[in-house]
Structure 1
Amino acid sequence: MSGLEIGHGGVIAVDTEQLREVGSRMRSVAMQCEEARAAIARAGALLASAPEAAPQVDIGALHRGGERIGVLRAELEDACAGTLLMADAFELVELRAQAEALALGDRAGASAVRARIHRLVDGDARVGVMADWLVAEWELTRHGGPPAPIGVGGLLPSLLLAAAFAGITSTLGKLPPGTTLKGVADPVRVTPTATSTPAGAPKGVAGALKRMPSTSAQVAVEKYTMVDGATRYVTYVKGTQNSSPWEGGGADPWDMKSNLQLYQGQRSASYQATVDALAAAGAEPGDRVDVVGYSQGGMIAAHLAMESDYDVALQLTAGSPQESSLADGQTLIQLSHSDDVVAKLAAGGSATGTGSPDSFTATREVDPQDGLYDLSLQPHALEAYIETAQLVDASSDPRAEALDAYWRELGDAVEVERTEFHAERVKQP
C-alpha cells in the first residue's frame, strides 16, 4: 500500500473527467466479457463437433455460462453509456452556470463557453434534456425523497447516482459555517443491544474505525471516566445499511432517504437516532463528545460537530460525502479515496481546509488497475479505509503524529463503558 497524501483539506468537486474515466473502464471490462463469451462459444463449438474428446464437460452448462457473460456485457455497455451521458449532463450544468457568471464581465469568455455548450447539446439531444431535468428535479425534491433512477436503463449504481445528483448543485458537499439541519425527522426508537467494558481506548485511527458496531447496531457510544472523575464520550456512527432507493423510509434509518435528507440539509431519522443514543448513554449538553463517522455517518458527524449541544473537539470521518466547517478549536480528520465515488463526486469542500491547524485530510487511490473491481464500490468499503488509517497511523507527518497525543489522553481513562444501539423508524398511524 502506498500513495498516501496528507494535507490540510482541498476542494471536493464533481469531476466530469472522473466520470468519463469510470465509463471508459466499464467499456474495457465489457470488451473483456465479450472476449470471454466468444472464447466460450468457440470452445462449445469444438466440443460439440467432437464430444468424445471431453465427455465430462457439460456443453449445455458451458453454453449457459457464455449467455450469462453476454448479458453482463450488455449491462456494462448500458451502464457505460449512462455514465458518459451523465458526465456530459453535469458538464452542461456547470458550463451554463459559468457562462451566466462570465456574461457579467467577460463577454468573450462567455461566448467561448457557450460554444462548448452548443457542441454538447448538438452532439446528443438527450444531454440538454437531462441537464434540465437534473436542475428542475433537484429544485422540486430537495426537501423530499429521492428522484427516479436515470441514465440508460437506470443502471447507474444507486450510490453513484445519489452522489452525482447531489453534486451538480456545487455546494452540498461543503457545509458553510452556521449550517443547521431543517425540518423534523421521522420518529425513531433507539434500543441498547450490547454493553461492554473495553480494555482501553483505540490506539490510532485504524483502531477507532475498527470500533464501528459490527452487529445490527448502527451507533456505539463509549463513556470514558478520566483520572480526575470527569467524563467524556466518543461515538461511532455507521454508514448506509440499506442503499436501495425504493426501500427508503423503511425500518432502518440508515438508508437512502436519510442519505438524501442529510445531503439536502434536512434532519434525518439517522441523525435523530444518533442524538437519542448519546442521550441514552448519559451524555448531556455541554459534555465532551468526539465522533467517528463512516460514509453516511460522516454527514451525521459533521452536524454533531457544527450544531449539537455537545462539545465536539474531534471529528474523524472516512468516506464522507460532506465536509463540515469547524471552529479553530476543533480538529477535523478526513480520510478520502480518490477512486471512491461517494467521497469524490460530492461537490463543495474547502480549498483552504477547516478546523484547527492539526486538522488534515488523508487521501490515496485504492486500486489503479482496471477491472470488475471498479464496479464494486470497494474503494468506499470500510475495510479499505481501515487500510488507509493504518498508513496514517504509521505516517511521520507532523499532524498525524500530533494525533497520537489524543489517543494517549483517552488511554489515561480509568474506566471505559461501551453501549451499542439499534435504531428503527416508528410507524405512524
Structure 2
Amino acid sequence: MSGDGEPPPPSGFTIRGGAGPAYADLAELRGAARALERAAEHLADAAEQVDAGTRAVRLGAGDSPASAQVALAALADLRAGPGSLRAASERARDLGRGLHAAADLYGQAEDRVGAAMRLLLSGIGTAVADRPAAAALEAALLAHVTFRLGALALGWRLLRGGGLPSPREVVVALPAQELMAFAGGVLRGAAPGWQGASAAAVPDVARTATAAASAASVVLPALGQRPLLVTARLGAASGRPAPTSAADVLRDLGALYPAAGGTAGTVGIERIEQADGQLTWVVAIPGMQTGAFGWGSNPMDMATNVRLMAGVADDGTQLVLRALAQAGVGRGERVLLAGHSQGGMVAMALAGDDAFRDRYRVEAVLTAGSPAGSQATPAGIPVLHLEHRQDLVPALDGTPAPAVSTRTTAIRDLAASADPADRLAARDPAAAHRIGAYVRTAGAASTAGAASVRAWEAAADRVLGTPGTPARRWEFTGTRLVPGDALRVSGPGSRP
C-alpha cells in the first residue's frame, strides 16, 4: 500500500533502517499508518472550514434568524463533542501513531530474533570446537537434516520446471551471515579455555588473530606492520565536473581499480567548489586487491581486512588520512566517505574515529558490498549501505547493519531487475560483488525514491555538486616498504 506523495515499495529492494519506513513485510502496516495520518490532516482541514462557515452564519444571522439557528445547530455537532471533526482527526492520528509504533516494535523484534539466532549459532560453533566428540554426532545429524530439506527443496523446484540449480546458485542461496556466525564460533571455541557465545564472533576472531600476530612479531619482525609510503600520482590530477549522485561517486571509485586502468593501492580525493565558495571533498576508497597477509607492497590486502574487522590500526585508514593531508583538506571542511568492499570498512572506521571527526566534518558515508554491519558510527552521521542479495561479501562479519534512523541498508535482489546485466550478475556471487553492479544499484535505489534513501541523499548533497559544478581530483597511492627501502625514506608520506 502506498499513498499520495509516498513512493511505492521499491521493486527488488528491501530497505532497513534510515529515516523512512522499512520496505519489507512492514510496508503495508506503514502504508496504513500514513493513510491515517493523511485522513487526520483532511479532517482537521474540514474542521477549519466548519469554523469558518459558523462565523459566516453568525455574521448573517440578522437577515434570517430562524435559518441561522437551524444552520448553527447542524454545525455544532461537527465542531464539538466526541463526534466532531477534530475528535475524529485526533483518533485517526492516534491510530496512525499506534500503527507506526507497532511496525517499529515488529522491526525491532525481527532484528532481535536475528541477533539471538546468530548468538545461538555462535554458541553452538564454540561448543562444537570445544567438544570434538560431540561435534561428530552433531555434524552427522545436521548433514542428515540438511540433506532431507535440500531434497525437498530440489523436488519442489523440479516440479515447477526450474531445472537443476547451478553450484553458484546453491552458494547464493546459503544463509551467509548465519554460517559466518557459526564459523566464528567454531574458531573462537578452538582457542584454549571456554570462550562462551558471542554476538560478534567474527570480529572477536579477527581481534585474536591480530593480537597473536602482534605478539609473534616481537620474535619475527617480518610479521609486524611495515612502513607505509603515500605519494600523489604524477599526472593523475584533473579538472572535471563534480559527481552529483551516489552512482557518480561509485563510478569514479571503480576507475581506481587496476582492472579499469588505475594504479594498485590508490584512493581518490575530489575537491568540489560549491557556488557559495566553500570547498567540499569526496573520498573514494576501492576494495581489497590482493590476498596477501601484509607481506606485499599493496596495503589493500587481506591483512588490512582482518585488522579492520578487529577494529585496530590498519594501513587502509592510514592511506586515506595521509591522502587527505596531502590534498590540503582543511579543518572543518565537509567530507563524504565512499568505499567498495574493504573500502567501505575503511570509510566506516574513519567516520567512527573521534580524532577524524574533530578534524573533518563527515556529512555522509556510502558503502557498497562491504561487511560493515559490526562497525559503529556516531548517531549524527547518515550512512547508506548498498548490498546485493547474491553478494556474499557483506555477510562476512556475520552481523547485519543496525536498523537505526541514521543507517539505511538497501538490499537489492539482482534477479528481480529488469536489466539483463543485473540478472546475469545474480547467477555469480563474484559478479554480484563487482563495482559495476553497485553503480547500477546506486542509480536504481535513487530512482526508486525510498524515503530513507532520499534522506541520505539530502545529506550527501551538502558535499556533492550540481550539474556543471567544477571539481578537481587527485589520486594517492599507498606502498608498503620492505626494510631496506624504509631506511631510505623519511618525511610526512611515511608512517613513523
1:423 to 475, 478, 482: 478
TM-score, structure 1 as length reference: 0.58
Q: Quick one: structure 1 residues 383 and 203, their matched pair in 2 at CA, closer, same or farther if it must change by over 3 Å?
A: same
1:4 to 6, 13, 23: 13
Gaps of at least 5 residues in structure 2 are 1-9, 19-118, 129-133, 144-182, 208-213, 216-223, 417-421, 485-496
CA distance in 1, matches of 2:409, 2:314: 26
CA distance in 1, matches of 2:270, 2:230: 16
Paired AA for residue 422 in structure 1: T
Asked whether 1:314 is paired with 2:364, we answer: yes
Per-residue deviation at 1:377? 1.5
CA distance in 2, matches of 1:373, 1:233: 33
Asked whether 1:296 is paired with 2:342, we answer: yes
Per-residue deviation at 1:261? 1.3
Report the equivalent of 2:400.
349
Asked whether 1:189 is paired with 2:229, we answer: yes
* Higher gyration radius (CA): 2
Report the equivalent of 1:334.
385
Q: Quick one: structure 1 residues 373 and 272, their matched pair in 2 at CA, closer, same or farther if it must change by over 3 Å?
A: same
CA distance in 1, matches of 2:127, 2:333: 45
Per-residue deviation at 1:343? 0.5
Paired AA for residue 264 in structure 1: A
On the 8 A contact 2:317/2:346 being kept in 1, the answer is yes
CA distance in 2, matches of 1:402, 1:316: 13
On the 8 A contact 2:366/2:384 being kept in 1, the answer is yes
On the 8 A contact 1:362/1:392 being kept in 2, the answer is yes
Report the equivalent of 2:248.
207
Per-residue deviation at 1:416? 1.6
1:399 to 448, 452, 455: 452
Per-residue deviation at 1:376? 5.2
Deviations 1:124-172, CA, capped at 9 Å, x for gaps? 99xxxx98862256789xxxxxxxxxxxxxxxxxxxxxxxxx9971556
1:249 to 284, 287, 295: 295
Paired AA for residue 228 in structure 2: V
Per-residue deviation at 1:366? 2.5
Asked whether 1:120 is paired with 2:173, we answer: no
Per-residue deviation at 1:98? 9.1
On the 8 A contact 1:251/1:426 being kept in 2, the answer is yes
Q: RMSD over aligned Cα, in angstroms?
A: 4.2
On the 8 A contact 1:337/1:344 being kept in 2, the answer is no
CA distance in 2, matches of 1:131, 1:327: 26
Report the equivalent of 1:216.
263
Per-residue deviation at 1:195? 0.4
CA distance in 2, matches of 1:372, 1:285: 42
Paired AA for residue 14 in structure 2: E
Per-residue deviation at 1:317? 0.4
Give the SS at the match of 1:328.
Answer: coil
Q: Quick one: structure 1 residues 208 and 378, their matched pair in 2 at CA, closer, same or farther if it must change by over 3 Å?
A: same
CA distance in 1, matches of 2:185, 2:459: 48
CA distance in 2, matches of 1:366, 1:373: 5
| 1:45-56 equivalences in 2 (<5 Å) | none
On the 8 A contact 2:203/2:309 being kept in 1, the answer is no
Give the SS at the match of 2:361.
Answer: coil
Per-residue deviation at 1:96? 5.7
On the 8 A contact 1:186/1:268 being kept in 2, the answer is no
Q: How many residues align?
A: 294
Give the SS at the match of 1:327.
Answer: coil
CA distance in 2, matches of 1:322, 1:6: 16
CA distance in 2, matches of 1:371, 1:139: 46
CA distance in 1, matches of 2:360, 2:321: 10
Q: Percent identity?
A: 27
CA distance in 2, matches of 1:226, 1:266: 35
CA distance in 2, matches of 1:397, 1:248: 41
Report the equivalent of 2:432.
379
Q: Quick one: structure 1 residues 226 and 313, their matched pair in 2 at CA, closer, same or farther if it must change by over 3 Å?
A: same
Give the SS at the match of 1:223.
Answer: strand
Give the SS at the match of 1:313.
Answer: strand
Report the equivalent of 1:94.
123
Per-residue deviation at 1:326? 2.6
Deviations 1:316-372, CA, capped at 9 Å, x for gaps? 0001111332333211011011221110232223443263xxx42110123489999
Paired AA for residue 397 in structure 2: A
Give the SS at the match of 2:237.
Answer: strand
Paired AA for residue 276 in structure 2: D
Give the SS at the match of 1:289.
Answer: strand
CA distance in 1, matches of 2:142, 2:268: 49
Give the SS at the match of 2:201.
Answer: coil
Per-residue deviation at 1:313? 1.6
Asked whether 1:229 is paired with 2:282, we answer: no
Report the equivalent of 2:320.
274
Give the SS at the match of 2:288.
Answer: coil
Deviations 1:374-410, CA, capped at 9 Å, x for gaps? 5652111111111211111211212333444456543
TM-score, structure 2 as length reference: 0.51
Q: Quick one: structure 1 residues 280 and 387, their matched pair in 2 at CA, closer, same or farther if it must change by over 3 Å?
A: same
Report the equivalent of 2:240.
198
Q: Quick one: structure 1 residues 286 and 407, their matched pair in 2 at CA, closer, same or farther if it must change by over 3 Å?
A: closer
Report the equivalent of 2:187.
134
Flag the structure with higher helix content.
2
Per-residue deviation at 1:267? 1.4
On the 8 A contact 1:239/1:293 being kept in 2, the answer is yes
